[in-house]
A = this chain, B = another copy of it.
Amino acid sequence: MNGTLDIEKFKFYIMQDALYLVDFGRALSILAGRCSEPKLVRLLLSFATGIESVEELLHEKYFKLFDIQQRTMEQSPSCLAYTQFLLAKVSLGSIEEAWAALLPTNPFKEWIDTYAGEEYSDVAQQAIDTTELLAQQLSETSFEKMKEAFIYSSRFEYMFWDSAYKQQWWVI
């Protein structure tokens, strides 16, 4: 490992990340609409709106830099698997499962913070607090489901990065 990153790999990642973020924002909006706790609703809505600024930034900065045409873009298999998992969880699962499924996205996005400014600044702490609050009220069975949602989402997060590195595409 020499610490360099193939420009094509990064370009592939940036494109997939932009597509991912659109659906991640959707998932945040839907969950905001399903929650009844005002604080959580506000948090999710501000994340969803924040996502939009990150998307804009990606388009203005990286898409121009790499001359990426948005029309030619399509989610890779791992990206689509991940986004559909999130959308299915926020639509059909419990609030707690849905929240847990959204968590793995955050830590990895730190590189974005540099550019997105303060918007994501204390996101990590708020995410931890919310998780603890939600987990407290749960029966054991429901807590297991919440944990499971987090684990599967982490697996998809890993596969998303791995597939970007390998530039994996649809075989048919």
**A-side interface residues toward B, CB under 8 Å?**
22, 25-30, 32-34, 38, 41-42, 44-46, 48-49, 52, 77, 80-81, 83-85, 87-92, 94-95, 137-139, 141-142, 152, 154-155, 158-159, 162, 170-172
Check if B33 sits within 8 Å of A42, measured CB to CB: no
Q: A138 is contacted by which of B27, B28, B92, B139 (Cβ under 8 Å)? A: B139
CB distance from A34 to the nearest CB of B (A): 5
A137 to B172, CA, bound (A): 29
A94 neighbours in B (Cβ, 8 Å): 94-95
Most buried by B among A26, A27, A95: A26
CB distance from A1 to the nearest CB of B (A): 19
CB distance from A147 to the nearest CB of B (A): 14
CB contact under 8 A between A141 and B152, given known A27-B33, A52-B45, A91-B87: no
Check if B87 sits within 8 Å of A92, measured CB to CB: yes
A42 to B56, CA, bound (A): 12
A60 to B91, CA, bound (A): 33
Check if B139 sits within 8 Å of A137, measured CB to CB: yes
Check if A158 sits within 8 Å of B172, measured CB to CB: yes
Residue of B with least CB distance to A90: B33
A28 neighbours in B (Cβ, 8 Å): 33
